[in-house]
Amino acid sequence: MQQFCEQLLNGLNLGSVYALIALGYTMVYGIAKMLNFAHGDIIMVGAYTLLIASTRSGLPWYVSVLLCAVVCCVLGVSIEKIAYKPLRNASPLTVLITAIGVSYFLQSSALLIFGSNKQKVDSIIKIKGFTFAGINVSGESIVTLGVTVIIMIVLTLFIKKTKMGKAMLAVSEDKGAAQLMGVNVNATISATFAIGSALAAVAGILYMSSYGFVGPYTGALPGIKAFVAAVLGGIGSIPGAMLGGILLGIIESMAKTYISTDLADAIVFGILIVVLLFRPTGLLGKKRVEKV
């Protein structure tokens, strides 16, 4: 029981990171109708920024966090402007291949600048954990869960209550009609990339606080897993990304403990296949009739 609870906590922890990344995937997909496969690598850039700002330069944690968010935001918006915007009317396949290209570009740049060795990033979370009924709750877990819950609440309120959020929903449903309402579609897409990238920065920081090492390919696997989480929850759906991320984290953590460490990833991807067989639109995805 104690082991189960600890693994559940671990799963929630990992799932929170997946959920934060999946939110970026799903928001960009919902609004720009593209899969931004470079999204995972934003986490890596965030982690390197943290390495330089906090571990190497010793800046205070809040300055480091802010710096990570700003660097990732600027990077995300620039990628969209330079690589994706000229392809706004191109075929989805072209955009997809471009996104994979951007991903390689970011990884190779990191390889050139930082080398292939993984480097240790010190956790910026200094809160002490506690033991409750024999279960160890680490400071990292408390902060990760707390931050994720706050972000989810704020993001949901932002989408539901603000004008900008409504504009995002409108653009995601019908770009043309949104323009007729006076919504600036390009600005909305930029804002989406900015928010998604900032969430990726936070995910990168939390990921580093638990795993501690950054390399040029650090973002690749969590990026793919978060993509799976977004599809599992129903791509384009914000609650879906949250649910998918958390579920995936718990499944992975449980599979590692109770089945096999080696098979854990296979199980995660296997579940995606099974879910898609029975619910092609994901758990919370809506079936939308495409009108011509």
Partner 1 sequence: MLKVENLEVYYGMINAIKGVSFHVEKGEVIALIGANGAGKTTILHTITGLVKAKAGNITFNDVNLLKTPAHKIVGMGMAHVPEGRRIFQELTVYENLMLGAYTRKDGKEISADLEKIYKRFPRLEERKTQIAGTLSGGEQQMLAMGRALMSKPNIILMDEPSMGLSPLYVNEIFDIIKEISNSGTTILLVEQNAKKALAIADRAYVLETGKIVLEGDADKLMNDDKVKKAYLGE
Which residues sit at the interface with partner 1, rule CB under 8 A? 163, 166-167, 169-170, 173-174, 176-185, 286, 291
> C-beta of 4: minimal distance to partner 1 in Å?
39
What b/e string do you get for 50-64 counting C-beta neighbours within 10 Å, with b at 16 or more?
bbbbbbeeebeeeeb
Least Å distance, CB 283 to partner 1, is 17
* Residue 137, strand partner residues: 130
137: number of CA atoms within 13 Å, CB side?
Answer: 13
Closer to partner 1 at the Cβ: 126 or 291?
291
Axis-axis angle for helices 2-32, 139-161 (nearest 10): 30
CB-wise, 50 or 170, nearer to partner 1?
170
Decide whether 185 or 224 has the Cβ nearer to partner 1: 185
**What is the closest distance, in whole angstroms, from the C-beta atom of residue 273 to partner 1 in the complex?**
28
Helix, strand, coil % over all residues of the chain, rounded to 5 = 75, 5, 25
Least Å distance, CB 15 to partner 1, is: 26
Of 60 and 86, which has the nearer Cβ to partner 1?
A: 86
Judged by CB, which is closer to partner 1: 168, or 203?
A: 168
Using CA atoms, how far residue 40 sits from 33, 227, 284, in Å, is 17, 9, 23
Shortest distance (Å) from residue 165 CB to partner 1: 10
C-alpha distance from residue 20 to each of 90, 189, 257 (Å): 29, 18, 24
Q: What is the largest CA-CA distance in the chain?
A: 59
| Identity of the residue, 136 or 184, whose beta carbon is nearer to partner 1 in the bound complex | 184
Closer residue to partner 1 (CB): 74 or 187: 187
Closest CA to 213 of 109, 221, 2, 13: 221
| Distance of closest approach, residue 89 Cβ to partner 1, in angstroms | 11
How far, in Å, CA of 68 to CA of 62, rounded? Answer: 10
Cβ neighbours of residue 163 under 8 Å, at least 6 residues apart? none
Min dist. Cβ of residue 144 to partner 1 (A): 31
